């Protein structure tokens, strides 16, 4: 459970935030930050009630309100990591070395590695162990200013293990402050029991897994790996249509390995987000720009795979709403480093620091259907912030690869960088 508090933050050298309750699309909107010098913020019962100049602060603060001196440093919205595979068993450190030696992602999968190996390890790992491992990642993410994280299942590919992963996510929400968005991804790969019978596995998901997930209220969205050699368009449409009918929001892994028309399909199905998009087509870019599906890019994965980065600059200039996320997982991206993510986005993907901030806050929130609640510093939204130890947001790209977060505030509760609650 995320605690809530009354808090007044004073002596903010610079407050910088996107504004709005929906995704920002295109260069102008994504680059537009509201900046207030000499700012102050009031949070009451976890919700922002004042944003403005410190000179305009109300004379009376809420009862029991703590006061935090920002030390003249910058205050930003809490970061939103809108794509992770947070709950998993075991590690795949050997595979990383194979990849460095020249093995491809797909060849590793064909050798029995990849998702299949993590599936086996996750099936055999207890809920307690899964919880302990995921908790360590969440603590590290909190220290980097992350206040909301999406957590996918998908390493079970059988009903009980998928439910186990999702129950761990629910348990994690009860014992630590980072807000979690739970996504069911039983269609992460084809399990050995169903090799060569993709549609039969999709029907198993629809008839057995999804009703159980729905019954227990374990997930808000359903995701699928739409890719050559994994799930095709027909299988994707069948699963996501059924999931939508059951009340799930839709997400899609799309166009990661080869151009596969995933972005176009995600836009046509009204997915919250299409994720990866390293090999997105021009038509895919056009369709995302015309629709409301957020393009979630994962530069840490491209970095880890030594792959070309998704064409962020082209996508933004074409009018897409771009989000950035870590893709934390034990295989293709064993990292949730927000500082590295920002460095890659600004140095290698052609994004401005303003666009990067919007992508990591408001647009990430939109990819989780929470832009009306989080992602910006505005009255009525949750009191989620990242307080830097630098005077302005531009240091995030300039002092690259370093964690510049002095304190993370979630719902008005202050957590120092060392994860100690103030």
Residues of the chain with pLDDT under 70: 1, 105, 418-422
| Residue 417, pLDDT score | 84
For the stretch 126-183, pLDDT in tens is 999 999 999 999 999 999 999 999 999 999 999 999 999 999 999 999 999 999 999 9
Is residue 115 within 8 A of residue 189, CB to CB? The reply is: yes
Distances (CA, A) of 95 to 105, 106, 109, 331: 9, 12, 10, 7
| Residue 422, pLDDT score | 41
pTM for this predicted structure: 0.97
User: Residue 51 region, left (φ>0) first, then alpha (ψ -120 to 50), else beta?
Assistant: beta
In angstroms, the CA 306 to CA 309 distance is: 9
Q: In this structure, what token pair is assigned to residue 190?
A: 């084809």
Q: For each of the domains in the chain, give its residue range(s) and CATH number, in order of start.
A: 7-77+374-416 (2.30.40.10), 80-366 (3.20.20.140)
In angstroms, the CA 370 to CA 191 distance is: 32
| Residue 397, pLDDT score | 97
How many Cα atoms sit within 13 Å of 393 on the Cβ side?
Answer: 27
| Residue 1, pLDDT score | 64
């Amino acid at each position: 459970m995320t605690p809530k508090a009354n808090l007044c933050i004073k002596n903010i050298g610079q407050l910088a935030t996107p504004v709005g309750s929906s995704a920002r699309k295109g260069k102008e909107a994504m680059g537009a930050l509201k900046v207030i010098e000499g700012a102050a913020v009031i949070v009451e019962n976890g919700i922002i009630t004042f944003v403005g100049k410190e000179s305009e602060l109300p004379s009376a603060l809420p009862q029991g309100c703590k006061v935090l001196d920002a030390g003249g440093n910058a205050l930003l919205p809490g970061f939103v990591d809108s794509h992770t595979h947070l709950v998993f068993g075991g590690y795949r450190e050997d595979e990383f070395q194979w990849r460095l030696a020249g093995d491809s992602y797909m060849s590793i999968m064909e050798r029995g590695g990849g998702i299949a190996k993590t599936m086996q390890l996750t099936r055999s790992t207890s809920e307690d162990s899964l919880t302990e491992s995921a908790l360590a990642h969440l603590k590290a993410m909190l220290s980097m200013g992350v206040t909301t994280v999406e957590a996918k299942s998908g390493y079970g590919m059988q009903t009980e293990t998928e439910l186990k992963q999702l129950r761990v996510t629910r348990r994690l929400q009860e014992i630590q402050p980072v807000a979690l968005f739970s996504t069911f991804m039983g269609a992460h790969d084809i399990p050995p029991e169903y090799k060569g019978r993709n549609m039969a596995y999709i029907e198993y998901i629809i008839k057995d897994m999804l009703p159980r997930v729905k019954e227990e209220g374990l997930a808000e969205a359903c995701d699928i790996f739409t890719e050559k050699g994994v799930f095709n368009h027909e299988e994707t449409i069948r699963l996501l249509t059924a999931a939508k009918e059951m009340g799930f929001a839709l997400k899609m892994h799309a166009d990661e390995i080869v151009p596969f028309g995933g972005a176009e399909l995600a836009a046509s199905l009204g997915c919250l987000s299409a994720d990866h998009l390293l090999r997105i087509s021009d038509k895919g870019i056009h369709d995302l720009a015309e629709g409301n599906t957020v393009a979630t890019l994962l530069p840490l994965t491209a970095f880890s795979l030594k792959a070309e980065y998704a064409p962020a600059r082209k996508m933004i200039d074409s009018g897409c709403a771009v989000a950035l996320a870590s893709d934390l997982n034990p295989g293709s991206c064993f990292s949730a480093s927000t500082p590295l993510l920002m460095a890659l986005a600004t140095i290698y993907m052609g994004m401005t620091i303003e666009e990067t901030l919007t992508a990591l806050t408001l647009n990430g929130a939109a990819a989780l259907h929470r832009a009306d609640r989080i992602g910006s510093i505005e009255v009525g939204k949750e009191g989620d912030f990242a307080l830097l130890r630098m005077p302005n947001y531009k240091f995030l790209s300039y002092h690259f690869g370093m964690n510049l977060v002095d304190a993370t505030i979630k719902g008005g509760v202050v957590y120092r960088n060392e994860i100690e609650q103030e």
